[in-house]
Amino acid sequence: MEKYIHKVQYYETDKMQFTHHSNYIRFMEEARTDFLEKVGFPYKRLEDCGIISPVIAVNVNYKKTTTYADNIEIEVKLKNFTGVRCEFEYIMTCNNNIVCTATSEHCFLDNNGKPISVKRTNPEFYNLMETLCEQNKN
């Protein structure tokens, strides 16, 4: 799948002129949103189906710095999927160097905030996510 590209904006840098570490989590969300759009299930569609998917954990490893106007290429993969939870993996590169690796874990809730089984709630989304997860294991 095509990588998501984020161009670092000036306001995303700190006093040392490096991209502030907190922004990488925002970049992950941008890339994850783009990923879901590309596979045919944007967040809006999930929400219209009564599914919300909050972040429950994030793990980020910073490898190299980036600065204003750098293009960060972000590869997103679905690493794990159970139907109740999922985990995305992110590899961020700039000028062919890995600058950050990360994961985010999500659960699936209904509009009232109660946990749901995606398999029962939306089999189409469940099958897609299972297929994507299997593709990444091969």
Catalytic residues: 14
Strand partners, 87: 80, 105
Q: What is the DSSP letter of 83?
A: S
Q: How far apart are CA 124 and CA 29, in angstroms?
A: 23
Q: How far apart are CA 6 and CA 28, in angstroms?
A: 10
- CA–CA distances in Å: residue 105 to residues 1, 59, 127: 21, 9, 19
Q: How far apart are CA 60 and CA 83, in angstroms?
A: 24
Strand partners, 86: 81, 106
